Amino acid sequence: MEDSYKHQGMRRKLIQKLRDKGIEDERVLSAMGKIPRHVFFENAFLEHAYQDKAFPIGHGQTISQPYTVAFQSELLEVKQGDKILEIGTGSGYQACVLCELGARVYTIEYQKDLYERTRRFLPQMGYKPHFFSGDGSKGILAHAPYDKIIVTAGAPSVPSALLEQLNIGGCLVIPVGDNQIQQMLRLTKESEKKIVKEVFSNFSFVPLKGEQGWQ
């Protein structure tokens, strides 16, 4: 897994592009600056690795656009030691960013083959989140509560299970909308009864499947 000067240079340019697009959290930018995104790509597609766009990773799924990863990571305001649940492991890139930010990461993937592939691959890069296979729209009750939850697939509505599994003071970052376009939401659990909702810009994710997702 070579990380040449050329790769590092391309990565620096990508990070500058994210800054130019409005990402301000230097911790997020620095974390993304450390992770060799090209190792998630097959050799034939290497030139796509440092473009600011999503890319197919097989099984109809994608590695999220770097801007989207940066935006969601910034909204999470990750603190060292935060216990974070990610719904939609996919390639594992977002999980690596959360690990770099010092979080304890629990990540769940619906597609069995992707789960197997990523569970084997990430430790080879030195990242060791806790991997789970199954329907993350229900969260992972056995390991709840979480300080933060991030959903990296588009949901039709906010799954109640995810709000229930948040610590007081914690937040859920989730894209919600139809099959084409979703609004990024941050829901902060101020008390058992009070959820504060913030609405951000539009994104386009693959659908969140499962019981509390798209059937």
- Binding of ligand SAM at residue 139 (CB under 6 A)? no
- Phi–psi pair at 131, nearest 5 degrees: -100, 140
Under the criterion CB under 6 A, does residue 35 sit at the interface with ligand SAM? no
Angstrom distance (rounded) from CA 91 to CA 74: 20
* 115 touches ligand SAM (CB under 6 A): no
Binding flag, residue 73, ligand SAM (CB under 6 A) = no
- Site pattern 144..173 for ligand SAM (x: CB under 6 A): --------xx--------------------
Q: Is 204 among the catalytic positions?
A: no
Structure tokens at 15: 């990070």
Residue in 14, 15, 32, 61 binding ligand SAM, rule: CB under 6 A: 61
State yes or no: residue 46 binds ligand SAM (CB under 6 A): no
Site for ligand SAM (CB under 6 A): which residue of 37, 38, 62, 166?
62
| Cβ atoms 69, 93 nearer than 8 A | yes
Helices 26-34, 66-76: axis angle to 10 degrees equals: 130
Nearer to ligand SAM, 126 or 193 (CB): 126
Catalytic choice (30, 64, 91, 191):
64
Closest CB to ligand SAM among 167 and 204?
Answer: 204
- Phi, psi (deg, nearest 5) at residue 79: -110, 150
- Pick the stretch among 11-19, 45-53, 130-138, 163-171 that binds ligand SAM (CB under 6 A): 130-138
Identified binder of ligand SAM from the candidate list 111, 140, 161, 170, rule CB under 6 A: 111
Conformational region of residue 119, where left means phi above 0, alpha means psi within -120 to 50, and beta covers everything else: alpha
> Contact between 71 and ligand SAM (CB under 6 A)?
no
Residues carrying an active site annotation: 64
